[in-house]
Amino acid sequence: MQHHILELIYLIGSLGFVIGLKMLSHPETARKGNLVAASGMGLSIVGTLLFYREDVPAMIYGLILLAMAIGTIAGWIAAKKVQMTAMPQMVSIFNGMGGACAMLIGLIEFDKYLVSGEALALLTVLGSMVIGSVSFAGSVIAWAKLNGNMKKEIRLPKYNILNTAVMIIVVLLVGLIVSGQLNDPMIVYITCGVALLYGIMLVIPIGGADMPVVISLLNSFTGMAAAFAGFMYSNKIMLTGGILVGSAGTILTVVMCKAMNRSLTSVIFGAFGGGGAASAAGAGDKSVRDISISDTAVLLNYSKKVVIVPGYGLAVAQAQHVIHELETILQDRGVDVKYAIHPVAGRMPGHMNVLLAESNVDYEKLVEMEHINPEFATTDVVLVIGANDVVNPAAKTDPGSPIYGMPILDVEAAHNVIVNKRSMSAGYAGIDNDLFYKPKTSMLFGNAKQVLTDLVNELKSMN
């Protein structure tokens, strides 16, 4: 009877995951979707504690509850405190925790199968341990890089050959253990160590603009590791959750690669995109044209169509509310205002959507890159706020550029381009941007929040 109740709970939990995931695909339902999926997980955890086995000593329950309390409090505080701009590193470290769980499960469970020599069971245990280790170590490195703790590019000579060799060693070791040719527990620990090393080596050379792809790839690894663990325990909710995370992560990886026009192999083995500040100093004697707040306000006020391009700087400045105010003022004066959303603007997938949703910008006004690009030719003013790489023409014109091939927002086609940023500093890819020196471009220097506030006040005074 207990078993059937648990099966039913797992079914409801799995449905929660699927429905939640579906709801996450639209900004309007995403918040609720997260809650639905979390409730499915909560229900499954409670169900497991109540109905999984009867012979568990009270002390073990005590330990489980203690671990859950510590994890819940730590997760709650971290999620409450995190700045929107630090979200990618938090996602990365949380993902790493999932990988660490799968690794520990493998380490705890392997010896009984090592003794019995069941090949399939051993394969699932080691699958969970190895993939979990790669995901854990890789996520910690990704966190350190995104958090600015690891600024120096470390790239060993012939690193791609080295990495491939380490990966082959891991696969060989797993093969030898599963086939029964090696059955010393020490070999399993060594395999785990080499898998951890591989995780570190995989992420260390990957730079700059390729980080989002790596994070979603590591996400899919954690999902796969959890699915292996679910298979090993014959636990349906773990299996379903793992498969969903694994496949969602894989799809996101493919989508991100497409958005940046990069193949997954070139992300993993190509290791460009870091760029540092290498070519940021390429400005030479080119000059830019400044524009004042009042001239910008006049230009905007008498436009028919304005497209706002939000970027990472908008998030840093926390200027999402004031940009919405600017949009509303212009809209009320009969100007057609839209936002151009680049898939990798900001520092995480959907960053601009989340940011603008916070200030209640109408979702209909957020237009994806492929739909807004043909509209720039009929746009009077493009207002670029804290965006840089996503409007850099080098992606189309300079084969030597680290972002060459990445689709960009074709703002140059508009009649006027006004770029707001604080200085001539480079963006994430560390490269100079020719757009700033084009005859149609004017620079509106300053912190995005201050500049937009001044613009709003100027527009109000023009009434």
* Shortest distance in whole angstroms from residue 262 CB to ligand TAP: 10
Interacting residue with ligand TAP among 40, 274, 386, 407 (CB under 6 A):
386
- Residue 261, helix vs strand vs coil: coil
Q: Which is nearer to ligand TAP, 218 or 316 (CB)?
A: 316
Q: Which is nearer to ligand TAP, 139 or 235 (CB)?
A: 139
In whole angstroms, give the CA distance from residue 257 to residue 344: 10
Binding string, 99-138, against ligand TAP, x = CB under 6 A? ----------------------------------------
Span interacting with ligand TAP, options 61-69, 179-187, 286-294, 420-428, rule CB under 6 A:
420-428
Q: Which is nearer to ligand TAP, 124 or 216 (CB)?
A: 216
Q: Would you count residue 428 as binding ligand TAP (CB under 6 A)?
A: yes
Residue 144 to residues 100, 107, 277, 350, Cα–Cα distance (Å):
16, 25, 19, 22
Amino acid letter for position 180 = G
**What's the token pair of residue 404?**
């060459």
Q: Would you count residue 418 as binding ligand TAP (CB under 6 A)?
A: no
389 carries an active-site annotation: yes
Interacting residue with ligand TAP among 287, 423, 461, 463 (CB under 6 A):
423
Amino acid letter for position 200 = I
In order, the DSSP letters of 355-367 are HHHHTT--GGGEE
Q: Which is nearer to ligand TAP, 122 or 297 (CB)?
A: 297
Q: What one-character DSSP code corresponds to residue 267? A: I
* Shortest distance in whole angstroms from residue 210 CB to ligand TAP: 8
Interacting residue with ligand TAP among 321, 422, 438, 440 (CB under 6 A):
422
Residue 34 to residues 38, 82, 348, 354, 425, Cα–Cα distance (Å):
6, 17, 17, 14, 37
Q: Closest CB to ligand TAP belongs to which residue?
A: 427
**346 neighbors 355 (Cβ within 8 angstroms):** yes
**296 neighbors 462 (Cβ within 8 angstroms):** no
Q: What one-character DSSP code corresponds to residue 374? A: G
In whole angstroms, give the CA distance from residue 424 to residue 168: 45
Q: Would you count residue 151 as binding ligand TAP (CB under 6 A)?
A: no
Q: Would you count residue 351 as binding ligand TAP (CB under 6 A)?
A: yes
Which residue out of 55, 184, 389, 454 is catalytically annotated? 389
In whole angstroms, give the CA distance from residue 128 to residue 225: 4
Q: Which is nearer to ligand TAP, 164 or 446 (CB)?
A: 446
* Shortest distance in whole angstroms from residue 88 CB to ligand TAP: 6
* Shortest distance in whole angstroms from residue 351 CB to ligand TAP: 5
Binding string, 203-222, against ligand TAP, x = CB under 6 A? ------x-xx----------
Span interacting with ligand TAP, options 289-297, 305-313, 355-363, 370-378, rule CB under 6 A:
305-313
Q: Would you count residue 348 as binding ligand TAP (CB under 6 A)?
A: yes
Question: Which uninterrupted H or E stretch holds 462?
Answer: none
36-45, long-range: CB < 8 A, 24+ apart: 40/12, 40/13, 40/14, 40/15, 40/16, 41/13, 41/16, 41/17, 41/241, 43/9, 43/12, 43/13, 43/16, 44/9, 44/10, 44/13, 44/237
In whole angstroms, give the CA distance from residue 462 to residue 206: 50
Span interacting with ligand TAP, options 17-25, 27-35, 170-178, 346-354, rule CB under 6 A:
346-354
* Shortest distance in whole angstroms from residue 48 CB to ligand TAP: 34
Q: Would you count residue 316 as binding ligand TAP (CB under 6 A)?
A: yes
Interacting residue with ligand TAP among 349, 376, 395, 456 (CB under 6 A):
349
Amino acid letter for position 315 = A
**13 neighbors 237 (Cβ within 8 angstroms):** yes
- Residue 149, helix vs strand vs coil: coil
Q: Which is nearer to ligand TAP, 142 or 224 (CB)?
A: 142
* Shortest distance in whole angstroms from residue 366 CB to ligand TAP: 15
In whole angstroms, give the CA distance from residue 18 to residue 36: 9
Q: Would you count residue 389 as binding ligand TAP (CB under 6 A)?
A: yes
- Site size with ligand TAP, rule: CB under 6 A: 31
Binding interface with ligand TAP (CB under 6 A): 88, 209, 211-212, 311-313, 316-317, 344-349, 351, 386-390, 420-423, 425, 427-429, 447-448
Q: Which residues are catalytic?
A: 389
